[in-house]
Amino acid sequence: MSALIQQTDEWLEFRKCHIGASDAPIIMGVSPWTTPYQLWLEKLSLAEPKKKERHMIDGIRKEDMARDCFEKMTGIFVLQDIVLHPKIEWMMASLDGIDIERKNIVEIKCPGKIDHERALQGKVPHKYYPQIQHQLEVCELNMAHYFSYDGNTGVVLKVYRDDKYIKNMLEYETEFWGCMQNFLTPKMSQKDFNQKNDDVWKSTAIEWISINKQMKELYDKEKELRELLITMSDNQNCIGGGIRVSKTVRRGQVEYSNIPEIENVDLEKYRKGPVECWKIIQAK
């Protein structure tokens, strides 16, 4: 078993360096609470983690009772554990329960009325499916238990490994991991933007669109005239008509990747801290 304990500061820091099962629904775009971009910000400590909503806090509080209920209903004794994928170094799962033989795992949810009703109908809520498939991949198992607990009674559902889904999920997770490693912003969704509709914002935006259009037209015209003047200079320095056209030569860029002396040097430790950059484009 892992020495880490869930819900501790050490566990939270460890999760920032890995992709866990609860990250899977977010990365797959089915989480109703968080987007890939928001998760990326949290992983890189560029934003404070979202405060847990009331139902999440309530679910954590009821988890021990739910685990006891699961054990009574199934006869399977389970403990919390944190598991790392045996081959993929960045992939982990914080399990609500795994048995001593490590053949049975359970994902416990203490959901709202709608999601519990779905469980009673034999259906796992769509937003939890990636989480369970992620756990199955990490633990290299073919079946997991989904346990929905309403505070009094529970329902147990078996969820089987879906290799086709897991393959697709791993592509998304690998891409997200690359964004984390290379400091690349994941694709944003509408949820990542605050809607602004006040009159001052609208008038400023309209003015910006107009000015930006003029600037582009002027840039294109300047480029056309620049190339024409260079052609007419016949590769000579020229002056006239209030302008001067001259040619200078500067050093080429250093190809650091071709320097053998720094091949094994960790250049990241020399990198400065993150720099905020803003981009304004016209929305479609």
CB atoms within 10 A of CB 229: 13
Rounded to whole angstroms, the Cα distance separating 232 from 239 reads 12
CB atoms within 10 A of CB 106: 23
Q: Confidence class of residue 260 from pLDDT cuts 50, 70 and 90?
A: confident
Of the listed ranges 37-51, 106-120, 220-234, 239-253, the least confidently predicted one is 37-51
The mean pLDDT value for 219-243 works out to 96
The mean pLDDT value for 9-37 works out to 94
Q: Confidence class of residue 277 from pLDDT cuts 50, 70 and 90?
A: confident
Q: What is the pLDDT of residue 54?
A: 62
Most confident range (mean pLDDT) of 50-64, 222-236, 270-284 is 222-236
**Of 124, 92, 91, nearest to 108 (Cα)?**
124
Do residues 115 and 131 lie in contact, with contact meaning Cβ atoms separated by under 8 Å? no
The SS3 call for residue 101 is: coil
Whether pLDDT at 57 is above 90: no
Q: What is the pLDDT of residue 140?
A: 97
**Of 43, 49, 46, nearest to 274 (Cα)?**
46
Rounded to whole angstroms, the Cα distance separating 133 from 138 reads 9
Q: List alpha helices for 197-236, DSSP H.
A: 199-232
Question: Tens digit of pLDDT for each residue in 78-127?
Answer: 999 999 999 999 999 999 999 999 999 999 999 999 999 999 999 999 99
Q: Confidence class of residue 278 from pLDDT cuts 50, 70 and 90?
A: confident
Whether pLDDT at 160 is above 90: yes
Question: Tens digit of pLDDT for each residue in 188-213?
Answer: 999 999 999 999 999 999 999 999 99
Whether pLDDT at 272 is above 90: no
Instruction: Specify the pTM.
Output: 0.82
Rounded to whole angstroms, the Cα distance separating 20 from 32 reads 17
Q: What are the residues whose beta carbons fall under 8 Å from the beta carbon of 9, sequence distance 6 or more?
A: none
Q: What is the pLDDT of residue 49?
A: 77
Kindly tell me the burial class for residue 280, based on how many C-beta atoms sit within 10 Å of its own C-beta (0-12, 13-18, 19 or more): exposed
Q: Confidence class of residue 56 from pLDDT cuts 50, 70 and 90?
A: low
Q: What are the residues whose beta carbons fall under 8 Å from the beta carbon of 200, sequence distance 6 or more?
A: none
Q: What is the pLDDT of residue 55?
A: 60
Here the tokens at position 134 are 């992620």
b/e burial code for range 186-216 (CB count within 10 A of at least 16 → b): beeeeeeeeeeeeeeeeeeeeeeeeeeeeee
Give the torsion through C-alpha atoms of 28, 29, 30, 36, to 10 deg: 100
Q: Confidence class of residue 149 from pLDDT cuts 50, 70 and 90?
A: very high
Give 33's DSSP letter: S
Q: What is the pLDDT of residue 274?
A: 82
Average model confidence (pLDDT) across the chain? 92
Whether pLDDT at 161 is above 90: yes
Task: Delineate the domains of the chain, giving CATH numbers in brackets.
Answer: 9-190 (3.90.320.10), 194-247 (no CATH)
